[in-house]
Amino acid sequence: MSDQQSITGGLRSIVAGVSSAARDLAGPPDAARRTLAESEGWHAAPLIPDRYRLRETEEGRFLLCDEAPRVRVSVDPSHAFSEAEARDLGKRVILLDGAGSFPPLLDNKSKVYNLDHHEGCERTFTLATCEQALLVVHSGLPLAEGDWTIYANEPDLDTVLAIWCLLNYERLSRLSERARDILFPMIRLEGAIDANGTELARLCGLPERALAEAQRRIERLIAREREIKGRGLWSATDLLQFTREVLTDIDRLVYRGDDFSEYAHVEEVYGHAEIGKRRVAVACRDGAGIYEVERNLKARWGDQLVLVALEKEPHHYTLRRTEALSDIDLRSAYAMLNLVDPAVDGRPPGKVWGGSVNIGGSPRPTGTALGPVDLLKILRLAYRKPKAWARLGRVGLAFGLGLGLLAVAGPVAWLGSLPLRELHPAFGEAARLSGLALIAAMATWMFTRRLSERRPWLFGRRRPAWGRWLWLAPIAVVAAIPCRAWFPQAFSPQPEHLGALAGSLVLAAFAVEYWFRGLVHGALIFDSRVQMPGGPWRLSRAALVSAIAYALATLAATLPWIFLAPAPWVEPVDEIAVVAGAALVGGLVLAVIRERSLSIWPGVGLQILGGFASAACWLALTG
């Protein structure tokens, strides 16, 4: 039997009407204006915690429940998805009462559900949406596993009751007898009304007294909707806020204050990030200590909670690993946060995210410049486990950015310099090198802008942090001397020529550093643990790959000059070996300096010094 047959057959019962007929049960106008606290059977609001929240995200606006942290609700009149469109929404999708314009569906493999009784079914004996929701929750719908999204387009009572059942999945199985006697008859009657109308609803199987009480409760719940529609304001109503208010009303009907004696309160939960299978990091704000907050969050998330980011003061977070034996090591989080957080600027070097493997925090004394949404993104990134082919693909991308850009920019710059070479070789060389630098710098800027997501500091465009990397500076300058590709291969003592030649050298130094220590290095920065100011010395994958790409590009750019203008004091084969070795050493040193200073600017300065030293040595040796 298919999943669709399961819901259209297994969930069948004689039920009742359409949503418009439900309003026939409403009381007189003055009853709609009575406050809920004044109505018989409603519990005072202070006794019931406010568990429902509205939250704006990058994906839209959603309603959430504190006790269903992995479920979010979207209510929008435009929701009317075909089955193909519903599957494109991803896994763990629930469509309610018309949000899916296709027959009822239970697809447990793809986790796509359409709880509906409009399209492709016999409405007379197909359960209404609220009853379907109640049954799938009791049948074990795994709403605690993974992130779910509920879509609805019209928050009538049938739909809101379905949302309530889904958001209260943890409590439904342990309702008190009093709560069941309130909730279940109300769902049965509303389902009957919504399916077959008011008259047939009396055949729903409820005893007369239970029927009358359920009808009275339904009248109270739809009073707000009837009043808004009666005033012609429904189209201007905030449907998510309206849904939130009706969910709160249902809480006050079904629950009592003592049902929440163990309710775990946290002031504000910003959101969560999945950092592994059944592993979740939660960012929140609360005035309590980290251990109390951890205990309260555990009550909601259970054993899925492995990392807490608690904000006790604005911009100041405590990170806590909740499982001492977990393989979630906070050092991975520190490394990624230090890489992305602009507040980590190396001034002083100790202003970083750090701590032990179990507990740590944001930079002191300024705190972090990251908001909670960015913080969760970075935590997710820190614990992702990319496949080997993905790593190889990014290494290939890095080499492509390094060598491919040279293959395009080199010939274009050479052709563009030909007219000026007829005026003077110095002008031609200045034009060639400047053209190469401009093409490389512009391409690098476009790539980094696209890849950085408005975080240019990831590619080294920031103030440098000073530190022990300074002792490496002389090595970088010396290593640049044999690499004559990055200074003009012509000389003229004329002032106008010298200015053009010097300007092209400076421009080339900037472009080459931005190109290799900015773009190529930055393309791999999330795949390797790089160095930080004041941290341990190591050679990262990003540094090694960018250095090899730089050495290959330098050698490729130098080869034409080795054969067109060979040095009289060295054989071409020997010069090739010297250039390759010097470029590799220089690339490694410059990559280490870029990581420990957080910036490309020290490397730009060293490349300028190296270029002038290289040009001076060449002129001195050639006379």
* Residue 366 binned pLDDT confidence (cut-offs 50, 70, 90): confident
Per-residue pLDDT at 201 exceeds 80: no
- Which residues, 6+ apart, have CB-to-CB distance to 422 below 8 Å? 428
> For residue range 64-97, what is the model confidence (pLDDT) as tens digits?
999 999 999 999 999 999 999 999 998 899 999 8
Examine the domain organization and report whether 113 and 162 are in the same domain: yes
Examine the domain organization and report whether 541 and 440 are in the same domain: yes
Q: What is the pLDDT of residue 390?
A: 74
DSSP assignment string, 283-352: EEE-SS-HHHHHHHHHHHHGGGEEEEEEEEETTEEEEEES-TT-S--HHHHHHHHHHH-TT---SSTT-S
Q: What is the pLDDT of residue 22?
A: 32
Q: What is the pLDDT of residue 9?
A: 40
Alpha-carbon span 26 to 225, nearest angstrom: 10
DSSP assignment string, 36-73: GGGSTTPPPGGGS---EEEEEETTEEEEEETTEEEEEE
Pick the range with the lowest mean pLDDT from 163-172, 444-453, 504-513: 444-453
Q: What is the pLDDT of residue 43?
A: 54
Alpha-carbon span 319 to 328, nearest angstrom: 12
Rounded to 10 degrees, the C-alpha dihedral 33/37/42/47 comes to 150
Alpha-carbon span 325 to 490, nearest angstrom: 65
Q: Are 306 and 426 in contact (CB under 8 A)?
A: no
Neighbours of 6 (CB within 10 A): 15
Q: What is the pLDDT of residue 404?
A: 86
Q: Are 166 and 72 in contact (CB under 8 A)?
A: no
Q: What is the pLDDT of residue 494?
A: 67
> For residue range 106-148, what is the model confidence (pLDDT) as tens digits?
999 989 999 987 777 776 778 889 999 999 999 999 998 889 9
Q: What is the pLDDT of residue 264?
A: 83
Examine the domain organization and report whether 229 and 248 are in the same domain: yes
For residues 30-59, average pLDDT = 64
Q: What is the pLDDT of residue 495?
A: 67
Amino acid, res. 452: S
> For residue range 288-306, what is the model confidence (pLDDT) as tens digits?
899 999 999 998 888 899 9
Q: Per residue, what are the HEC states of 128-145?
A: CHHHHHHHHHHCCCCCCC
* Residue 563 binned pLDDT confidence (cut-offs 50, 70, 90): confident
Examine the domain organization and report whether 560 and 539 are in the same domain: yes
**Bridge partner list, 308:** 282, 320
For residues 239-260, average pLDDT = 94
Q: Is 276 left (phi over 0), alpha (psi -120 to 50) or beta?
A: left
In 100-197, which ranges are continuous DSSP H helix?
Answer: 129-138, 157-167, 169-172, 177-196
Q: What is the pLDDT of residue 216?
A: 92
Nearest C-alpha neighbor of 2 from the set 106, 119, 117? 106
Examine the domain organization and report whether 555 and 609 are in the same domain: yes
Examine the domain organization and report whether 415 and 376 are in the same domain: no
Q: Which helix (H) or strand (E) holds 371?
A: none
Q: With b meaning 16 or more CB within 10 Å and e meaning fewer, what string describes 429-465? A: bbbbbbbbbbbbbebbbebbeebeeeebbbbbbbebb
Which of 242, 260, 278 corresponds to the end of one domain?
A: 260
Examine the domain organization and report whether 81 and 221 are in the same domain: yes
DSSP state at residue 100: B
**Bridge partner list, 333:** none
For residues 93-105, average pLDDT = 92
Which of 366, 382, 398 corresponds to the end of one domain?
A: 382
Per-residue pLDDT at 61 exceeds 90: yes
> For residue range 405-463, what is the model confidence (pLDDT) as tens digits?
888 888 888 888 888 777 777 778 888 888 989 999 998 998 888 877 777 888 888 88
- More confident call, 547 vs 418: 547
Q: Rounded mean pLDDT of the chain?
A: 84
Domain containing 26: what range?
3-260
Alpha-carbon span 516 to 590, nearest angstrom: 10
Which of 260, 282, 299 corresponds to the end of one domain?
A: 260
- The percent of residues above 90 in pLDDT, for the chain, comes to 44
> For residue range 370-410, what is the model confidence (pLDDT) as tens digits?
999 999 999 998 888 877 777 788 788 888 888 888 888 88
For residues 336-351, average pLDDT = 86
Per-residue pLDDT at 557 exceeds 60: yes
For the chain, the domain total comes to 3
- More confident call, 156 vs 422: 156
- More confident call, 484 vs 1: 484
Examine the domain organization and report whether 232 and 311 are in the same domain: no
* Residue 7 binned pLDDT confidence (cut-offs 50, 70, 90): very low
Cis peptide before 348 (omega within 30 of 0): yes
Strand order through the sheet with 316-321: 268-276, 279-285, 305-313, 316-321, 359-361, 354-355
Examine the domain organization and report whether 237 and 274 are in the same domain: no
Examine the domain organization and report whether 67 and 198 are in the same domain: yes
Alpha-carbon span 253 to 23, nearest angstrom: 19
Q: Which helix (H) or strand (E) holds 358?
A: none
Q: What is the pLDDT of residue 16?
A: 32
Which CATH number fits the domain that encloses residue 347?
3.10.310
* Residue 615 binned pLDDT confidence (cut-offs 50, 70, 90): confident
Alpha-carbon span 579 to 551, nearest angstrom: 8
Neighbours of 363 (CB within 10 A): 22
Strand order through the sheet with 68-75: 52-57, 60-65, 68-75, 148-152, 93-96, 112-115, 105-107
Alpha-carbon span 540 to 525, nearest angstrom: 9
For residues 575-582, average pLDDT = 91
Q: What is the pLDDT of residue 457?
A: 81
- More confident call, 422 vs 365: 365
What six digits make up the tokens of 409? 């920019």
> For residue range 208-222, what is the model confidence (pLDDT) as tens digits?
898 889 999 999 999
Per-residue pLDDT at 544 exceeds 90: yes
> Among positive and negative, which fits the CA dihedral 326, 330, 332, 336?
positive
- More confident call, 299 vs 17: 299
- More confident call, 131 vs 192: 131
Alpha-carbon span 204 to 201, nearest angstrom: 5
Examine the domain organization and report whether 446 and 373 are in the same domain: no
* Residue 570 binned pLDDT confidence (cut-offs 50, 70, 90): confident
Q: What is the pLDDT of residue 38?
A: 40
Q: What is the pLDDT of residue 169?
A: 95
Q: What is the pLDDT of residue 18?
A: 28
220 half-sphere exposure, CB direction, 13 A CA radius: 21
Examine the domain organization and report whether 51 and 164 are in the same domain: yes
